[in-house]
Structure 1
């Protein structure tokens, strides 16, 4: 039973790792191409015969990458010493297992029932004399290892100790062991080489141990860069998919708008409606095709990169130090692919398509196709003052599911509630009672219509009528900076609450009941924060003019400067859409209605301008319809997408 299990393991190893991808037989004199794939020398020779005689390159049948054939021929390609030694060991271990042929054993290769006289180790079959001759005649089996029956019964082959390493000899000075690596020539040398060809000052050679340590570090650094690239590709794929879904929604909305206008104009516009719909579909298909191409390009890039990474990892894990250093030029050449990686970004601007309908009685066409998303001011309420519905400094804003808007006034220390069209309903002012507010600052509403308000060192929670519900105090033991808390920013999603403690320079993430999920220290946090659906925290720094993103562990994802009219601008409020898009309010630093709201993609790249002509925009929020609320010091503005 034990011998059968051992034989099964050896068979699996041979089939999975020791068979040539060309002949599907166990490797014989394996040679390695530049792409790190190995093949039998005879198989490569046979491939070259089928090519043009003047060909100087050989194409890998696995990855199709070309390898320059040395002037001395294919036999001068690097030998895969690890595969050679492993094949030899597997062969010896198979013999030790005593896979014997008895005198009465029949041939397993033919149906004539002849007595088996040999065993083919590659076919793993007992064969008769005729089958043995046929093996030697056929091109695909003539290199198979055939052992006479009596030899298999002799367990005289001792297992090889793979832990012992024999130092390879120098190719020029065959009696000298290789002991140095010339960094200048990127090759292994012996003492004689060091004293002759490599003795000049321009040659820098070091011991093999130091060389392999440096080589392994270089490979590790590059592989880590690969991992970061994979993360970026995954992030871009999410953004592309979100944009693609949004495109479909916009296409549906565009068709709906066209149909509505079509019904209004009745029969005389039906033909024009059909033509316009076809045009919308055509553009939508073209853009969807662009997204498909982007996804395909990114996946192909990473598939190719993964092939290289897999080959390099296998080599780094399995080969010995000497072999690694001999193969270093090929490995590093393959890793140069990292520099060629080009991630196709999510073109969020292409995800918008709409229709601007017009009076077709006088116009030639039913409507105009809008290829770029535009915003316009839908509603504005509030003015400067101290009474109900007036603001001295509107800083925070949020919206309930019924459209009601809640606004914080940091000067009056007041929380006010308005209808969706700006009619004042009620307010909560500063008070001494524990249920009242001391210094309301930022606000956020979750899907259950609970209002979360930062108030000094506490987060207070109200319902959609501004009735107090409960409170919690964020507790972060590892916070840096002053010990006094100053909760200055808050963001809420379906299940979590993110809080900025400006006093302690900490971002903490909590469950809705206030229990801590994670926290991270960051000296750049100030007043505004948003949470994305990618487990990321996005915040701004007004003083440093930066838009930043970190994961829940505090690792930086991006850190970009915000710009307005070609000059660095001061960011305040920040929002994050379902597709990962980021909206940021920007101050140009001078007086007047010249501030703006900009849109960025999920990687911090600028997309477009959402709103212009603002005065001191601070907090922002989405309405249930997807409009953007902006607290502009003395008023609240509502912008909708066109």
Structure 2
């Protein structure tokens, strides 16, 4: 706003008016050694006078307008309608306009206004006008931003439409090319079949013409024959040719040639496939109402899952997926360099929710940025802390030899086929403790394979449990109910064998035993294998066990 101080209006040679404060900043940023700057309105090059930008002439017209507006403001002083010369006052506390003469000096019913803020009504009008103008400008700014956002979205919609149409055209061009290729194959097949038949028939026709010409030549001069013997020979020869002509009378090929498109369901399948080829996907997701949160506290090196819930413009949850979700997980800190984003995976649950999975390498504060259609969701970015402490969600047991106690528990296995039964090798007590999925005690399993407090591994097989004893170098398969030994074996190549389960599907069914310090070699590359109850053993270095599927 122009005034008589730092914001004094200055007239430029290009006839534009700019305040002194703005000119000083522009000149300081543009002049350097040139002694000139460009008008911020028309970009004309302006030479700075010897006295600097303050030496530029004032804008007479703007100053006249400022004076006129100042006089108008001084003249507009609200007066009481009853007491014409009495200026109206305004109480900011009560939000009331009053005249001191009309109210007897106080506008309040209590007669005291010492705690009320009283100002001239003209000043109150000016303040409210300024507030109104500020709110109006703010509203206009917001609406302008909204207009730009919608315009940009319309532009992106046009680009997406062009991309979709291009995809449609290219896809159907590919389909047309496939159809054309098949048409050419059919045309070639028809031509080949026709040529094969034509060749046979033309060969037969040539044979017939040859025989006919031969008979015609032999028949020349027969009426002049007088020797009976020659006539008889000719009659016999012609009889033979007549019999041969009978065999040539029927075409050796036929003219049957047709294209059959009803011998299978290919035509109907093609029609059905074309009716299902492609789809137009849209979405009603409204990003600024979508929310996201972490499923559980984030722990270093453990997988963290954030769930994104999408809703439409009315706040109703979305029931389908397919939205383009953009994710960025960044650590926050004073490293001084650009932080490296974490790797992540997005899982579309096809019900309007999305799982974002990632692992934080170090403890500290992190930031999760989520956007849909390249527009940020509500309360984005999401800040969270990653801790080094993984607090247990459930605990069971203590040190000892009782029902709920352990001595050196070393291995654990889960049987998901019966609801997640937990098997814990309690090596110090030479037993297996069986727990429910909720860590409630079920029973103990004892077996000779657990003797010597030397069992180091356990896994679930199709038939029961498999344990390994490093001291006795024995692998035992036992019943998970009574602990009876189902089968067992050992091998002279074992040295401190251990058991490493690899989980696949519901049941763990692949195990690897090896000597420490030696690398496992694929069984298929080594000879000299021996089989033990459905497993395969390598005689020199390692044992690779695959239970029957």
Q: Please say whether Structure 1 and Structure 2 have the same fold, judged by a TM-score greater than 0.5.
A: no
Q: Which structure has the larger Rg?
A: 2
Looking at both structures, which has the greater relative contact order when contacts are Cα pairs under 8 Å and sequence separation is at least 6? 1
When normalised by structure 2's length, the TM-score is 0.27
When normalised by structure 1's length, the TM-score is 0.24
